[in-house]
Amino acid sequence: MTAIIRLEDVENKIIEIRNQKVLLDSDVAALYGVETRDINKAVKNNPEKFPKGYVFTLTKEEKTEVVEIFHHLEKLKFSPQLPKAFAERGLYMLATILKGSKATQTTLTIIETFARIKQLSRNIKELSEVKDDKNKKNLMQKSGEIIAELLGDDLALNETETTIEINFAVLKFKHTVKKKNDGK
């Protein structure tokens, strides 16, 4: 049975390099359930689908930096290869190459995650400009819903309460999950 890719699986792997939100080739491969070499081979065999800005190779300095900052990328430390970074457009093009039900599910989740992150960014920007309290409250509620979707409910454990608080310049989000043991 194919594991379902969740929004938070994708969101946790998105990093920012060169002022772009990207996924590294190893994370893309993990999400699609293939080897990194398969992802890179698809790019190499279809160069017309990946013009400048769709995918780029990290420099040695960028590789060192991401390995230091993002612990899930620690395995890259000893790789002689420089990782490739897929911008959102590059991921869409990759989706036209990769086939299968897992590839389709993964692509849909990646697209939804990027769309939610963009919407959240727009909401936060708009919050700083909106003067009407009713509109402001509506934007804050929508932003909170997006953040809750991105965080997911896997934060909850039986008989505990989990609270996450995120402060943006114009938005303070507090997400509390309460789950009680139901005797199972």
pLDDT in tens, 59-85: 999 999 999 988 888 888 889 999 999
53, 89 Cβ separation under 8 angstroms: yes
* Higher-scoring residue by pLDDT: 64, 128: 64
Alpha helices (H) in 15-165, listed in sequence order: 25-32, 36-45, 60-69, 88-95, 101-127, 133-151
- pLDDT bin (cut points 50, 70, 90) of residue 3 is low
**What is the structure's pLDDT at 62?**
95
End-to-end Cα, the chain, rounded Å: 24
**What is the structure's pLDDT at 158?**
42
For residue 35, the tally of other CB atoms under 10 A from its CB is: 12
**What is the structure's pLDDT at 60?**
95
pLDDT over 60 (residue 27): yes
pLDDT tens column, 105-120: 777 777 777 778 777 7
- Domains observed in the chain: 7-118 (3.10.260), 119-179 (no CATH)
Q: Amino acid letter at 112?
A: E
**What is the structure's pLDDT at 107?**
73
pLDDT tens column, 131-173: 787 877 777 777 777 766 665 655 444 444 444 455 555 445 5
List, in sequence order, every residue forming a beta bridge with 163; answer none if it has no partner: 176
pTM as predicted:
0.61
| DSSP letters for 20-47 | EEEEEHHHHHHHHTS-HHHHHHHHHH-G
